[in-house]
Amino acid sequence: MQEPVFRLTYCSHSALDCAADPTELDRILATSRRNNAAAGVTGALIYNRGIFAQTLEGSFDAVQTVFERIQSDLRHDEIVVLQAEPVEERLFGAWAMAQAEPDHPARVHETLTSAMIDPGVTAAPPLLELLTRVVRHAPA
């Protein structure tokens, strides 16, 4: 499949307390998988202590549409974009939205908070590396 791929990686604080209600996260994932599958978007998501990080991959228009839907969701707060650019290929082509379970919660927390604090170009690679590392075990 050689269609142009656009990748967006962003972090956000969330008003959701997923620790208190794990079904909330499941609902978000279910909605996102349904919407993404329809739009040909794939990606991965990680949630840890109030911070979401998500990668979306697909055609620019599809990623923009999905992102706009997320942007009008007021449960997100302080959204920072870490990477928004055309890329060679998808990293998460097999997943409509993979859920990455934090393997080392403390390290994951550090990666996420530092990305929120300093969302420069250097913030995206460690986060993508984290997502790919933990997603390998996730069901497609």
Can you give the binding site for another protein, defined by CB under 8 A? 6, 8, 10, 60, 63-64, 67-68, 71-72, 74, 76, 79-81, 84-86
* Cα distance between residue 83 and residue 27, in whole Å: 26
Closest distance between another protein and the C-beta of residue 86, in Å? 6
Q: Which residue type occupies 50?
A: G
Measured from the CB atom, the residue of 25 and 84 that comes closer to another protein is 84
Question: Nearest distance from residue 119's CB to another protein, in Å?
Answer: 10
Residue whose C-alpha is closest to residue 57's, from 45, 69, 41: 41
Strands 5-14 and 98-100, how do they pair?
A: unpaired
Q: Is 83 exposed, middle or buried (0-12, 13-18, 19+ CB in 10 A)?
A: middle
Secondary structure of residue 42 in the 3-state scheme: strand
As a whole number of angstroms, the distance between CA 107 and CA 90 comes to 25
Amino acid at 4: P
Q: Which residue, 20 or 74, has its beta carbon nearer to another protein?
A: 74
**Least distance to another protein from the beta carbon of 19, Å?**
24
Residue 102: CB minimum distance to another protein, A: 24
Give the nearer residue to another protein in terms of CB position, either 3 or 68: 68
Nearer to another protein, 1 or 74 (CB): 74
CB closer to another protein out of 49 and 71: 71
Comparing CA positions, the residue from 87, 93, 80 lying closest to residue 44 is 93
Least distance CB 73 / another protein (angstroms):
9
